[in-house]
Amino acid sequence: MKHLGFEVTEVMEGSLRKPGENFDREFRFNLAVVFPALWRILAVAVGRARGTCHIDGVARDAPAVGTLELSPFRPLLARYTFTFTADDGNQYRFDGWKSAGFNVRRAWTTLPGHLYDTQGEVCATVTLRFSFRRHFPGLLRSFRLLWPSAPEREEELQPALHA
């Protein structure tokens, strides 16, 4: 059975710091995420994410593919995971999550995470932010419902975990 889904594009930007470096590198991602079933937002919705990742001196708008696990009610989290190939040809994986705390606005606008190398070792610490002033209007404009009968949905709705 096909379900009503939705798509949204999110931009987050901030910094990355590698061990041994005494400076931060600019980090930004722009991901379009397709959630195949809107009703899953009541529990845990997993969407397939595709977009670009930019890290100063590491990756210049590299294609990024991964998932966004969204659970806005319980356990109140949003987990972002995606991989990309850097300018040096090496593949990296970003893994970060927002979780609600006492300061809800800060909790949903700050994304701490780590960057992992091909061996699965942490190679950088990341802090990204969602700016209501700069990013929220674009997020609202990007939201669209994906109707079950739309023929273009077949590719979009492949299981997110196999991306």
- Alpha-carbon gap, residue 159 to 56, rounded angstroms: 32
Token pair, residue 141, equals: 């404009």
* Chain CA centroid to CA 56, Å: 18
Condensed to tens digits (0 to 9), the pLDDT of residues 24-76 reads 999 999 999 999 887 777 778 899 999 999 999 999 999 999 999 988 777 77
Condensed to tens digits (0 to 9), the pLDDT of residues 81-104 reads 999 999 999 999 999 998 766 665
Query: How much is the pTM?
Result: 0.83
